[in-house]
Amino acid sequence: MIPGGSIAALASAPGASPRALIRVSGSLDDLDAIFAQPIPRSRGAHRLVIHLGDGAELPALVAVSVAPSSYTGEDSLDIVIPGGPAIVERVMRVLTNAEGVRHAEAGEFTARAYMNGRLDLEQAKGVAMTIAASNADELRAAQRLMSSTQGSRSSRWNERLSRLLALVEAGIDFADQEDVVAIEPSVLATELHDLRAEIEPGFSSSAGSEQRTDLPRVVLAGAPSAGKSTLFNALVGRERSVVDEAWGTTRDAIVEELTLPGGGRIELVDLAGLDDAVANALNAEVQRRAREEIERADAIVYCDPNSTFDARLTGSLPTLRVRTKADQPTTSAGAADLEVCALDGWHLDELRARLAKLVGLTGAAAGGAIAARLDASLRRAGAHIESAELLASSGSVQWELIAGEMRLALDQLGVITGRIDPDEVLGLIFKTFCIGK
């Protein structure tokens, strides 16, 4: 995301409606020139007039929130205007043409709330999952995250561990001074044991504990030379599978992790072409392994350039029937769910979106994957604390090693509390948001 400046976005649904809501966050000084009168610097709803240019003006209801008491922690405006698409487009153009104001990126309002200390990562994750919730259970889980119970507990654990680390490092730094007494190893071991005993129950109650830890497995299946390997390479973005017109080029299953729209991930598997007419024992073994991979799969992408799909291949597994090589003519009247061309990328974005739906990686599930990642951080923190405890209980205490394990534990707790900024976790959270959130 681009740091700094003021941001604006349509926060209501696009399209015609009686009213539309435009959200702005940043500096009120950037916005004063847009209105016929100065923006009040007090919290509340005000009737203001927007300059549209060429002498045109538009009355608007503007809710003002003053930093730091706003969602983002910055000065913010919620502008309510008539919902005609032409009006909305013109107001957005006026806003983003103002000096210092630009279009918001997806999730940038919530990202700013996090950066300004208004939300921790658990709460931001809860917002993402609330937006994506498709049923009452998912909504309740998201609301539990937004209450930030886990985040506040992690903050307390962080503070306790920081105090203990300060004592350990004081003993290391001032070991030659008699008036500085390092914490006794037995006392430290007891403190670490008690802290770990508090953290471990959080493994089962944290948001990610009920999420599967393995990735959904999706296989590309079909006859030899059906374009599976070319499609596989196009989806993963590199030449991972050998591509050739010769029959049987792919023999062993090739597996790559693929990130889908919304941040969900799958294991994508390129299989050998399926053909019952095998000529020798080697080919028979290749066919056996390919069918085993299909049995292990969570879903199948059935590839066929002629759209002559055989229902016996897939059984009851979720299946997406894809006509490959869509740049070539076909005389088949078969019904494909989607036509793609891996060579020029035609419909590949649509295929990625369909894959997410095929294995249930909707926005809410992607939010669950985020929860699982943060739960893993909590588990790693517990493991580092246990290592420090064991080192403190050993006969020959090595304070530098103990301090190192404690710092690693603090790093993992920081993933939850937001005191460190691992790009991968932040990216997963905020790219699941839509514009205006």
Sequence-distant (6+) residues with CB within 8 A of 141 are: 129, 133, 207
Q: Which residues of 46-83 are buried (b: 16+ CB within 10 A; e: fewer)?
A: eebebeeeeeeebebebebbeeeebbbbbbbbbbebbb
Spatial distance between the Cα atoms of 271 and 231, rounded to a whole number of angstroms: 12
Same domain, 352 and 411: no
H helix or E strand, kind and range, residue 186? helix 185-199
Same domain, 164 and 273: no
Specify the number of domains making up the chain: 3
φ, ψ for residue 257, nearest 5 deg: -80, 135
Same domain, 384 and 424: yes
pTM to 2 decimal places: 0.41
Judge whether 19 lies within some domain.
yes
Same domain, 172 and 297: no
Domain that holds residue 28: 6-104
The type of residue at 38 is P
Residues 120, 417 contacting (CB under 8 angstroms): yes
Spatial distance between the Cα atoms of 238 and 232, rounded to a whole number of angstroms: 9
Residue 119: exposure state from Cβ atoms within 10 A (0-12, 13-18, ≥19): buried
Spatial distance between the Cα atoms of 94 and 89, rounded to a whole number of angstroms: 9
Same domain, 352 and 269: yes
Same domain, 352 and 244: yes
The type of residue at 321 is R
Same domain, 240 and 318: yes
Spatial distance between the Cα atoms of 104 and 112, rounded to a whole number of angstroms: 11
Residues 382, 417 contacting (CB under 8 angstroms): no
Taking each continuous run of H as one helix and of E as one strand, the counts in the chain are 13, 12
Same domain, 229 and 351: yes
- CATH code at position 41: 3.30.1360.120
Same domain, 396 and 275: no
Same domain, 229 and 354: yes
- CATH code at position 340: 3.40.50.300
Same domain, 377 and 399: yes
**3-class secondary structure, 318:** coil
| 437 residues of the chain, pLDDT tens digit each | 455 689 999 988 878 889 999 999 998 888 888 999 999 998 999 999 999 988 899 999 999 999 888 888 899 999 999 999 899 999 999 999 998 899 887 778 877 887 777 776 666 666 666 655 555 555 555 555 555 555 567 778 888 898 898 888 877 876 666 655 568 899 999 999 999 998 887 654 444 333 444 578 899 999 888 899 999 999 988 776 655 554 445 557 888 988 887 667 888 999 888 876 665 676 778 888 888 888 888 889 999 998 888 766 666 788 999 999 988 887 666 688 999 999 988 999 999 989 988 887 544 454 555 566 667 778 889 999 999 999 999 878 888 999 999 999 988 887 666 554 444 444 544 554 555 55
Spatial distance between the Cα atoms of 215 and 12, rounded to a whole number of angstroms: 34
**3-class secondary structure, 3:** coil
